[in-house]
């Protein structure tokens, strides 16, 4: 394993691995053809780029996707990657048969080395109260099913990635004002769930409803050593406000924090995606400078308390994740 001291920092070449031993900068997903010339080599994947179409309403977008082996180049630049496709399907079926996602993470593991790190999103079937089905949201019968999480996701994930697996993100959808879960009720549900699943210091929860960022929930985080995911996202308050609501505490028992830079505040997913596509550069007026300042401040606070901080950047936060990472790293290093 290459020591951190030997790892390079070259922001012009998007090399962020060596900026600090406890700072892990990475991205949400990794196989974007729009990053060729930044993260990925020109010509290396020629004739092996696949295309898929994404549709929002009457708008369609073609995504160009590199082969999984590109992760080898990815980790020349970053120390951590968040794989979010696991949000959409478990790793094993109920009968124990591997899904396509299980085979996908096996492919990733074959191209990773010691010192690389992966964060997985827990399937929405486990942590979403409601799921989108047949054009509407319906109650999720599997919500907080501890056995499904353990058998169909946790155990196979640990089996495949071993020590390279550094975090699980449990993301819960935004709750509209009508029918919101009271914080005390949410706390009780989470307490029961985390009490039934394997004890692990790699759990982190992202609640996308501000009213749930309250003491009853934070008390459960403390009890179980669960990290609060600080997310720059559509309907959440600024990062510094989220951290303040938690008493500026880092709850994770593994002394890690996850910050996710997802979308501009007040901008829906579909709009952010349409503006950012095809993810080749910063979009004028899209990147919020305060997001960068808040993220750097959180990095400093984490390091002051000897907490490892993972900053995960999405293209939708400004147009191009590598360029956002460069701005973040420049600002961090400027502060010494």
Structure tokens at 189: 């549900």
Break the chain down into helix, strand, coil percent, rounded to 5: 40, 20, 40
Per-residue confidence band for 297, with pLDDT thresholds at 50, 70 and 90: very high
Per-residue confidence band for 38, with pLDDT thresholds at 50, 70 and 90: very high
**pLDDT tens column, 167-205:** 999 999 999 988 899 999 999 999 999 999 999 999 999
CATH number at residue 196: 3.20.20.410
Q: Is the pLDDT of residue 57 over 90?
A: no
Measured distance CA(224)–CA(197) in Å, rounded: 11
- Look at the chain and report how many structural domains it folds into: 1
Q: Residue 11's domain spans which residues?
A: 4-334
Where does the chain have alpha helices with state H?
71-77, 100-110, 124-127, 146-149, 155-161, 183-196, 215-224, 239-245, 269-276, 289-304, 321-334
> What is the pLDDT, as a whole number, of residue 205?
98
Structure tokens at 75: 């980790």
Residue 255 contacts residue 308 (beta carbons within 8 Å): yes
> What is the pLDDT, as a whole number, of residue 5?
47
Nearest to 310 by CA among 173, 204, 184: 204
**pLDDT tens column, 262-282:** 999 999 999 999 999 999 999
> What is the pLDDT, as a whole number, of residue 3?
47
Average pLDDT over residues 140-162: 97
> What is the pLDDT, as a whole number, of residue 132?
75
β-pairing, 50-56 vs 59-65, is antiparallel
Q: Is the pLDDT of residue 335 over 90?
A: no
pTM of the model: 0.96
Q: What is the residue-averaged pLDDT of the chain?
A: 95
Average pLDDT over residues 109-130: 96
**pLDDT tens column, 75-95:** 999 999 999 999 999 999 999
Nearest to 315 by CA among 280, 284, 288: 280
Measured distance CA(253)–CA(124) in Å, rounded: 24
> What is the pLDDT, as a whole number, of residue 2?
44
């Amino acid at each position: 394993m290459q020591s951190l001291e030997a790892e390079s920092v070259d922001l012009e070449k998007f090399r962020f691995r060596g900026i600090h031993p406890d700072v892990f900068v990475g991205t949400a997903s990794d196989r974007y053809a729009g990053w060729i010339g930044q993260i990925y080599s020109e010509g290396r994947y020629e004739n092996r780029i696949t295309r898929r179409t994404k549709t929002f309403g009457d708008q369609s977008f073609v995504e160009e996707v590199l082969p999984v082996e590109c992760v080898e180049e990815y980790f020349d630049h970053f120390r951590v990657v968040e794989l979010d496709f696991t949000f959409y399907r478990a790793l094993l079926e109920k009968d124990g048969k591997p899904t396509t996602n299980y085979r996908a993470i096996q492919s990733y593991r074959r191209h990773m080395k010691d010192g690389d790190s992966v964060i997985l999103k827990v399937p929405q079937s486990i942590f979403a109260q409601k799921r989108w089905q047949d054009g509407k949201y319906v109650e999720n019968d599997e919500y907080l099913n501890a056995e499904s999480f353990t058998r169909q996701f946790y155990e196979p994930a640990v089996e495949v990635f071993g020590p390279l697996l550094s975090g699980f993100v449990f993301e819960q959808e935004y709750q509209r004002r009508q029918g919101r879960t009271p914080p005390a009720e949410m706390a009780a549900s989470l307490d029961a769930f985390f009490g039934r699943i394997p004890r692990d210091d790699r759990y982190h929860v992202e609640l996308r409803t501000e009213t749930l960022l309250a003491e009853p929930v934070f008390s459960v985080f403390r009890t179980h050593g669960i990290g609060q995911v600080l997310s720059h996202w559509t309907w959440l308050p600024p990062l510094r406000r989220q951290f303040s609501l938690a008493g500026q505490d880092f709850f994770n028992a593994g002394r890690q924090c996850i910050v996710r830079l997802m979308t501009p505040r007040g901008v829906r997913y579909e709009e952010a995606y349409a503006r950012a596509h095809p993810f080749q550069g910063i979009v004028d007026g899209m990147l919020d400078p305060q997001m960068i300042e808040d993220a750097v401040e959180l990095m400093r606070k984490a390091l002051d308390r000897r907490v490892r901080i993972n900053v995960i950047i999405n293209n939708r936060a400004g147009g191009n994740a590598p360029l956002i990472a460069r701005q973040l790293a420049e600002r961090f290093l400027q502060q010494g």
